Structure 1
Amino acid sequence: MTAQDSPAPLIPVETIRKALLGYRVLAWVTGIWLIALCYEMVMKYGFGDDSLGWIAVVHGWVYFVYLLFTANLAVKVRWPIAKTVGVLLAGTIPLVGIVVEHIQTQKIKEQFGIDTEPESRAHDSA
């Protein structure tokens, strides 16, 4: 389904673009902090070094914000609940959240005809 085939979205495309950008940023930040959390777990349980315990706290808060941004996007693009839960859970597995972000971003851009850059910036560079 392309932008020409789909009915006009109920939400303005610019609003979807902003929600998508927030989701993308938080998916990457969550993914990076999840990798850091894995490192912290190896250090803690493998080497008895508990000095990096703060990473778990930071990751927990970052993941919470990721949940909010993902839910915001899901409502705006009208994802079914099962897909929303799947994308939310993707942020709990190292690197999977980043892969899912890439796939979902491509689908949303195609579905809503979203360019990489907002129109105002695209015209400024021309």
Structure 2
Amino acid sequence: MSSTDPVTTAKPVTQPASKIRGALLRYRVLAWVTGLWLLLLVVELILKYGFGVDSLDFVPIVHGWVYFVYLIMAIDLSIRVRWPIGKTVVTLIAGTIPFLSFYVEHIRTREVRAQFDV
């Protein structure tokens, strides 16, 4: 192939900035919501198993569904910005460890904004 062949000189296909910006916003919102529900889940488990209080039985169910939506939003963002599988898995697991979703959200937001200028 010659050096002027469009196949060899083409840049990798990237998402428009508006789509990346939208995916990043959705991911950030769900990271925070997931983190807050996870902290509420920790409080609920302490009350339930530490003090015998069974008043917040809905918290695990809500956190589970919020985490499920978080997974979808994180995968959507990872596909759009083409994260490697390791970075994607760490981001997905961050929603299961208290306070980690806040930290990972901050790091990933900084990386995506720097890389894609959004």
Structures share fold, TM-score greater than 0.5: yes
Once the two structures are superposed, what CA deviation does each residue of 1:61-82 show, in whole Å capped at 9, x if it has no partner?
0000000000000000000111
**TM-score normalised according to structure 1 size:** 0.83
Give the aligned partner of residue 102 of structure 2. 98
Aligned to 1:63, which of 64, 67, 72? 67
Partner of 2:15: 11
Tell me the CA shift for residue 50 of structure 1: 1.3
What is the count of residue pairs matched by the alignment? 108
The 5 A counterparts of 1:1-126 are 10-114=14-118
Q: Give me the whole-angstrom Cα distance separating, in 2, the residues matched to 1:80 and 1:28.
A: 23
Alignment RMSD, CA only? 1.1
Helix, strand or coil: the match of 1:91?
A: helix
| 1:123 corresponding residue in structure 2 | none
Structure 1: 4+ residue segments shifted above 2 A: none
Does the 8 Å contact 1:13/1:112 carry over to 2? yes
Any idea what SS the aligned residue of 2:98 has?
coil
Percent identity among equivalent residues?
Answer: 55
Unaligned ranges ≥5, structure 2: 1-10
Structure-1 separation of matches of 2:66 and 2:25:
16
C-alpha deviation, 1:8, in angstroms:
7.0
* Aligned partner of residue 96 in structure 2, secondary structure: coil
Letter matched to residue 64 of structure 2: G
